[in-house]
Amino acid sequence: MARIPEETINQVLAATDIVALVGRSVKLRRAGTNFLGLCPFHNEKTPSFNVSPSRGTYHCFGCGAGGSAIRFIMEHDGLSFVEAVKRLADAAGIRVEEEVWDANAEAEARQRSLLLRANKEAAAWFHTLLMKHQIAAPAREYLKSRGINAEMAKRWQMGYAPENKAFYREWMAGAKLSEQALIDAGIYSVADQDENGRGGRAYPRWRHRLMFPIRNDNGDVIAFSGRLLEKKENTGKYVNSPETPVFSKSRVLFGFDKSKRFIAKADQAIICEGQIDMIMVFEAGLQNVVASQGTAFTEHHAKMLKRVCNEAILCYDSDNAGREAAEKAFRILSPQGIHVRVAALPQGEDPDSLIRKHGAEALRGLVAEAPDFLEHQIRHMRAGAKGDGMAERVRMAEQVAGAISIFSGVAQRVTAVNKVAKLLEIPEEQLNGMVSRAAKSKDNQPAAATRDEKAAKPDESAQKLVAAQNKNALLLCQLALADAEVLLWLRGADCGTILKEVPGTELLGLLWRSTYDPLQEIAQSSFMAGLQRHEEAALALVMARPRPPGGIGAAAEAFDNLTITLLKSEMRTIDAKMRSPNLDKSTIDTLWASYRKIDADLKQRTQRSS
């Protein structure tokens, strides 16, 4: 692992606006001198995520997550400390020089960097072929047929993957990338060996396909999606990159890097099924749009959207597959507190074809008039119903009850039951009973958490650490974090024995041993960024609490109380030793002298404290 000099870390933190950084992923509102939003690290409906621009820290009162801008990038984007510092440094135009001291971690960082470079180089090469090479003429013709011009292709860096492997070899040599690097990045596949040991050769994953770069929130190319240009039997229309250390399809929304600020501004996300649909909707002026990566919508996708908006409009195909996908998305989005509506496209149309045939206003109208999911579901069932008798309406209510049971909030359920009961003209009491039965059924129980979801759950160790602190030690921490004079005084105090013998002084020890300059505004954040995750979050929690009154006087009193705790502990230890059998007179005299000395000191400090 590489080590970055402390002065560089200070520079990076000083140049980083933590409100702007967090605000790219979390919708924040001002609350006094701080900012509030919904925590990106756990599911909540009432904002408890606090960002302090003056301290350069964040803290969630719900799950205990907290720390500096560096920690936020590490937790939010899954980066190492060095990678997080580098990303912030790049954004600020600061050069980072590292010292290597852990070869394994350094190799891992190099590998991630190599994969990002391979994807970046490939994206540029695919794009150059599409725009300039004669072999890409079929791809250009295809784009033209879909209403995509050269400027649009440039904005989205679309590309063309050639059929001939020789083109790949020539590019690979020029880019100075090894075949193994392309395999690791997912650009090459490796054939399985047969029973005779034949095969196992590497070959390009995409051949004669239109290429769409997939980017992370930061805009880095991390993967690709390749679309067929000609229909082939037993061949998928789209082929996506495999999972790699830099790409997980369940954690990426196509186009989110471009659209997230528009989503936040509109407080609404339009969700499409494919890349071309997303691009065409964006280019038509509805820029608050994303698409999943050809897979089912995931809980992580829902959490990404919840950070920036409160409403989602599903813009899926109107066939059976589209309706099933919409219901699955509803069941994932609603528990996150996102209001789900459905833009019902005409039969046989997708967003792209609708825009090309009838213009952007046609889609804009459908989005504006999109009913909420439950109403859409009832409309669809009524359109296919044989009649409108009570029995038929009860059957519909039974189906809708499962969707209503998804709502976790009481107010949401009450509102939904009221609305559906009126639409279906059945008693609310009857529908409530259906919802209760649906909520208890096995089919509507939440699925077991996946490994990724478990990993994303907030770590409670920070809260436990704060709760375990001695109240006087914690008071000293609060005073030292808020007042440079108190911290300098604390470092001069004799805390060694207290930290060794008094339980609950771990956080106090971190500050007592610290060497950062408290008169430098950003140095505190830099110090915290170098701590372990739970320690940084614990200090962020302490800093987020109201500042206690007093300065050095209050700190001295808290220190005296800690010393009293220490002296009482020492007296109990001596008392226990003196009760041991077979002690000689000399040992007893020595212990007794120590006991009297400690007792005198204890009485003096107790009087002073009183």
Residue 13 has pLDDT above 80, yes or no: yes
| Residue 153 pLDDT grade (very low, low, confident, very high; cuts 50, 70, 90) | very high
Q: Is the fold of 2-100 the same as that of 251-370? A: no
Cα gap 327→398, rounded to integer Å: 15
CATH architecture classification, 111-191+200-247: Alpha-Beta Complex (3.90)
Domain ranges of the chain: 2-100, 111-191+200-247, 251-370, 376-444, 461-609
pLDDT at 228: 92
Cα gap 498→495, rounded to integer Å: 5
Pick the CATH number of 2-100 from 3.90.79.10, 2.40.30.10, 3.90.1150.10, 3.90.580.10: 3.90.580.10
> In the 3-class helix/strand/coil scheme, how is 375-405 assigned residue by residue?
HHHHHHHHHHCCCCCHHHHHHHHHHHHHHHC
Both structure tokens of 302:
């829902």
292 and 255 Cβ atoms separated by less than 8 Å? no
Q: How long is the chain? A: 610
227 and 291 Cβ atoms separated by less than 8 Å? no
Mean residue pLDDT of the chain comes to 85
Mark residue 199 as left, alpha or beta (left: phi above 0; alpha: psi -120 to 50; beta: remaining).
left
125 and 118 Cβ atoms separated by less than 8 Å? no
The pTM of this model reads 0.64
Range with lowest mean pLDDT among 164-178, 192-206, 397-411: 192-206
pLDDT at 132: 94
Taking the CA atoms of residue 480, residue 483, residue 488 and residue 492 in that order, the dihedral angle to the nearest 10 degrees is -50
Q: What percent of the chain has pLDDT over 70?
A: 92
∠ CA 304-221-181, nearest 5°, is: 125
pLDDT at 459: 56
Task: For residues 70-94, give the mean pLDDT.
Answer: 84
The better pLDDT of the pair 439, 368 is held by 368
Cα gap 107→87, rounded to integer Å: 18
Over residues 502-522, the pLDDT tens digits come to 888 999 999 998 888 887 767
Q: What is the CATH number of domain 251-370?
A: 3.40.1360.10
Residue 217 has pLDDT above 50, yes or no: yes
The widest CA-to-CA distance across the chain, in whole angstroms, is: 105
345 and 315 Cβ atoms separated by less than 8 Å? yes
Q: Could you identify the residue written with the tokens 């994953």?
A: 205
Q: How many helices (H) and strands (E) does the chain have?
A: 29, 17
